Amino acid sequence: MFLTPEGHVAAVTKPATVMGILNVTPDSFSDGGLYAAPEAAVARARQMMSEGADIIDVGGESTRPGAEVVGVDVELQRVIPVIEAVAPFAPVAVDTRHEEVARAAVAAGATVINDVSASMGPLAAELDVGWIAMHMQGDPASMQQAPHYVDVVAEVREYLLTRARQARNLGAKNVWIDPGFGFGKTMEHNLQLLAAIDGFVTGEFPVAVGTSRKSTLGKLLAASDGVDGPTAADDRLEGSVTSATFAMLHGVDLVRVHDVKATKQAAIVLAGANPS
């Protein structure tokens, strides 16, 4: 617990859940190609668990802007063997937009559907698993061409609460809402959402946030590394931890990150408690 300059208590009563990103893709924006082989993916999952991850998020389709669409068959081939191998030693989420993949992933041991399409609330209710409903305007192929909102914070919030309530009414129990940083949003939109993140923390649904290494941070940090242009994705550690810390200090419950060890330290220090 910390006191704000106004003397208000910023209550972080327990460390946020740290979700470690495991992209088993050749083309993810930061870790693409590194863990495409199942053995490398499983080793990475073990490493993130040893660094304090609470759950591993396995994804088989990059959703970076303009990413190539992969077929469901390819996505299944990528994620299912890894989920089967990781689930015996770690809680697993599946990061997918496709119902067929989500179903197979749950059968293979995943207990959370991390859904960047925010469309699988009914499935999560049916399968009795957790569901992260993330906001995206458009789809990955075109979402960054001309994102438009009248009031990004109000629109994203309303959309997520509507989806989450529908799922809850169908019986879904563990539902998170996630504003979807970088998904059909300009840098300005992303920064407005982060600045207003406490408005999403209403107590009705826990909030998840994924700012890790994203391009908004790279643009903010531009030239901080002495190189022209955005700071490279793997050189955004401190910026990523800072953005996650900001979110956690404002009550965010789950942070989806590449850099588990550093983020876990921030979560523990903010809460003044170590869960292990």
Q: Which of residues 50-79 bind ligand HH2 (CB under 6 A)?
A: 59, 62-64
- 3 state DSSP class of 178: strand
114 contacts ligand HH2 (rule: CB under 6 A): yes
| Structure-block tokens of residue 200 | 């999403």
Q: With contacts defined by CB under 6 A, how many residues of the chain interact with ligand HH2?
A: 21
Choose between 2 and 188: whose C-beta lies nearer to ligand HH2. 188
Among 102, 256, 257, 262, binds ligand HH2 (CB under 6 A): 256
30 contacts ligand HH2 (rule: CB under 6 A): yes
Catalytic residue among 97, 185, 214, 236: 214
- In whole angstroms, how close is the CB of 199 to ligand HH2 at the nearest point? 18
200 contacts ligand HH2 (rule: CB under 6 A): no
Q: Exposed (0-12), middle (13-18) or buried (19+): which is 229, by Cβ within 10 Å?
A: exposed
The Cα 39–Cα 55 span in angstroms is 18
214 given a catalytic annotation? yes
44 given a catalytic annotation? no
Contact at 8 Å (CB) between 67 and 140? yes
- In whole angstroms, how close is the CB of 6 to ligand HH2 at the nearest point? 30
Q: What is the DSSP string of 129-146?
A: -EEEEE--SS-TTTTTSS
254-257, strands of its sheet edge to edge = 175-178, 130-134, 112-115, 92-95, 55-59, 17-23, 254-257, 208-209
Q: Exposed (0-12), middle (13-18) or buried (19+): which is 35, by Cβ within 10 Å?
A: buried
144 contacts ligand HH2 (rule: CB under 6 A): no
Q: Which residues of this protein are in contact with ligand HH2, per CB under 6 A?
A: 21, 23, 25, 28-30, 59, 62-64, 95, 114, 116, 132, 134, 178, 180-181, 208, 210, 256
Which residues are part of the catalytic machinery? 214, 256
